[in-house]
Amino acid sequence: MTIRQRLGLASLVFMLVPAIALTGETTSLKEIMQGLRNNVVDISDGLLTDDFELVARGAIAISEHPRIPAAQVQLVAQELGPEMPAFKQIDTVVHDLSLEIHAAADAHDSGAAVTAYQQMIKGCLACHAAYKERVAAALQEVP
């Protein structure tokens, strides 16, 4: 790897520092994703049963999910290289949509909640199609 490539990678990691938890919590991207899956199920169940409290809980949990540990961010950044900002952008979009779902649930607006939920799921599926296999392979060796 050239110095220029290393500087570029360092810049990407530095750009993501605000997204990294500083709480000392130990978690992994896989555990984060499993938690997000559970949150999505809560939103879906809440929408199907008109349980706006459950929708709101699932949505806020998505927006406040733990951050990827720094070591894993670095491995993902090495794998994705110049695609890393796009990967991060999808997380931002999903975060923003989860806040829209939460606001719609608070307002008992099922139409707005469903619309934002569908957009969020579309973003999740797009991210998985583009990155899941490569990210999983990059993190395979991480305990």
In this structure, the dihedral spanned by the alpha carbons of residues 42, 43, 47 and 49, taken in order and rounded to 10 degrees, is 10
The conformational region for residue 67 under phi > 0 = left, psi -120 to 50 = alpha, else beta, is: beta
Q: What tens digit of pLDDT does each residue of 37-92 get?
A: 999 999 999 999 999 999 999 999 999 999 889 999 999 999 999 999 999 999 99
**Taking the mean position of all CA atoms in its chain, how far away is CA 20?**
12
Domains and CATH numbers, the chain: 26-138 (1.20.120.10)
- CA-CA distance, 44 to 49, in Å (whole number)? 9
pTM score over 0.85: no
Residues with Cβ within 8 Å of 1's Cβ and at least 6 positions away in sequence, in order, are: 9
